[in-house]
Amino acid sequence: MDTMVTVIDIAELPALPAQEMLSILRQGSILRLPYLEARLHQAGDHVARFEERYRTTLGELSAQGLPDDADYQFHEDFIEWEYWHEVWHETEMIVRNVRQILHKAEATVVPG
């Protein structure tokens, strides 16, 4: 899942009043969080489906290697499993961070 991302340094952004910046962070988090949570759930469902089908975890399978008698479908599933596991792991981190941003934005009182 290699993607090109341009990172914006907050210090380079135009100056906004603190209350406005907090509002933007809060509203952006509120809008984005349901999508991210749905993506996390979707990825988790895919990972669980593979774990149930093959009665192992991706970590165990990666450590042991694919069985010698693994067929074409097993190989295809393994590639897809790795993809969904990566999506799940990355999205879990993003959800955790967005929730933290939201919590901090809601807990912050800016004198105004």
Residue 56 lies in a domain: yes
What is the per-residue pLDDT for 6? 72
Domain, as residue range, for 87: 31-107
Q: How many domains does one find in the chain?
A: 1
Q: Are 81 and 50 in contact (CB under 8 A)?
A: yes
Per the domain annotation, does 21 fall within a domain? no
pLDDT at position 109, please? 67
Residue 60 lies in a domain: yes
* pLDDT score recorded for residue 77: 97
Task: With a cut of 80, say whether residue 62 has pLDDT above it.
Answer: yes
Tell me: the pLDDT tens digits for 84-98? 999 999 999 999 999
Residue 31: burial class (beta carbons within 10 Å; 0-12, 13-18, 19+): exposed
Is there a domain that residue 6 lies in? Answer: no
Residue 13 DSSP symbol? S
pLDDT digit string, tens, across residues 11-53: 777 888 888 888 888 999 999 999 999 999 999 999 999 999 9
* Residue position matching structure tokens 């042991």: 64
Region 53-75: mean pLDDT is 95
pLDDT range class, residue 3, cuts 50, 70, 90: low
Question: Is 12 within the bounds of a domain?
Answer: no
Residues 106 and 28: beta-carbon distance below 8 Å: no
Q: Is 13 inside any structural domain?
A: no
pTM assigned to the model: 0.80
Answer whether residue 24 is part of any domain: no
Contact 95, 7 (CB under 8 A): no
Taking Cα atoms as reference points, which of 83, 102, 97, 92 lies closest to residue 28? 102
